[in-house]
A = this chain, B = another copy of it.
Amino acid sequence: MKLRTVLLDLGGVFYEGARLLPGAQDALARLRASGLALRFVTNTTRQSRAALLRELERLGLAVATDELLTPASAARALLLERGLRPLLLIHPGLAPDFGGLDLHEPNAVVVGDAGEHFSYAGLNRAFRLLQAGAPLLALGRNRYFKDADGLSLDAGPFVAALEYAAGVSAELLGKPAPALFTQALRTLGCGPDQAVMIGDDVEADVNGALAAGLGGILVRTGKYRPGDEMRLAATGRLADDIGAAVDTLLDQGKEKPG
């Protein structure tokens, strides 16, 4: 099957912190020139798509709004598709991504990385909606993240709390769940067997994509640590960095025209 779409993680693949990784811009330019469809798929849960796009622009990475997919954009699409009105337990930085949605008399719960903005009252309100049958959408279920002063609780523990309280299972929208990969391909009318995901997180990016039926390439940058390849599913591939990953894809394209 001919490759049509490349899904790309951002942090740890194109840049680390505020610094571009070597060869990142060149790799992106070569992907653009190849004519392959590109989608950028990231698990960010404290920054709106607009804020992230501005950051990418400052780094010299030209990405269009429609090319960027996040758990919030997947949640928004799902809410609209099902006609649901969400109660949002999210970080205020993410609020713009849910702008314009009907928030009155909510009949769904969206939980993100709300941090200090989690409260008993908010969690209790969510619990009562879940008891009444509202679906629970989780933007992520990471256990913790590295904060300025140490490790801090991420969205996962609060998702677990609500699941335990209401006896329900959350629908995960972030990687490695299939929702984000699937949504990215659906807008392009592209089958999973015509797509590949490139990322630095062996579980969230690569094994997640492989489980959803896409190809997957793990890059040895960002959060990659030696030994991660031991956890890589058998059909996954490895590349030193985004430049090498693009080499692999474009060489393959030449050798095996569809």
Chain A residues with CB under 8 Å of chain B are: 114-121, 123-124, 127-128, 131, 143-144, 150-154, 156-158, 160-167
Contacts and interface: CB of A to CB of B under 8 A. Distances in A.
A60 to B, nearest CB: 36
Nearest to A115: B120
A157 B153 contact: no
A160 B157 CA distance: 7
Q: Which of A117, A127, A161, A162 has the most CB of B within 10 A?
A: A161
A124 B143 contact: no
Contact of A165 (B116, B118, B119, B143): B143
Given A127-B157, A154-B165, A160-B161, 20 more contacts: A114-B120, A116-B120, A117-B120, A118-B120, A119-B119, A119-B120, A120-B153, A124-B153, A127-B152, A143-B165, A144-B165, A153-B161, A153-B165, A156-B165, A157-B161, A157-B164, A157-B165, A158-B161, A160-B164, A160-B165
Contacts of A160: 160-161, 163-165
Contacts of A120: 114-119, 153
Contacts of A151: 127-128, 131
A124 B157 CA distance: 10
